[in-house]
Amino acid sequence: STGSSGINAEYGGIDMMSRLSDCTGIIDALLRKGHVTPALKCALASGQEEKCEAGKFLRVAADSGDNVVFYNTYRFFEGRVAGCEGSEEFVALYKGLFNEL
């Protein structure tokens, strides 16, 4: 959809569907579109944050080129980064961007 009304309808639909018990499909669709923050919100709203694959979210966040999105995603999954696919790359990117760890 284009225009603000299409975007509002899309996010309204996402909000409604996130209230379902399993919104894995919604999360995957949001990530395919590069919408990391709404995907995290959906996971939290449905209580599925522990089932989320940190590597999948971090890959999309890193590819977005938005340092704030990457920072917030990294910090959200901080305890699970070490065990995820591509973890060395994400840790190095985080250290390089934010000079902390």
Q: How far is residue 89's CA from residue 26's CA, in Å, rounded to a whole number?
A: 26
Tell me, what amino acid is at 51?
A: K
Summarize pLDDT for 24-82 with one digit per residue, the tens: 888 999 999 999 999 999 888 888 888 888 999 999 999 999 999 999 999 999 878 77
In eight-state DSSP terms, residue 101 is -
Coil vs helix vs strand at 63: helix
pLDDT of residue 1: 44
Q: What is the mean pLDDT of residues 12-17?
A: 63
Q: For the CA atoms of 88, 90, 93, 95, what is the dihedral angle to 10 degrees?
A: -70
Does the structure show a pLDDT above 70 at 86?
yes
Q: Residues, the chain, total? A: 101
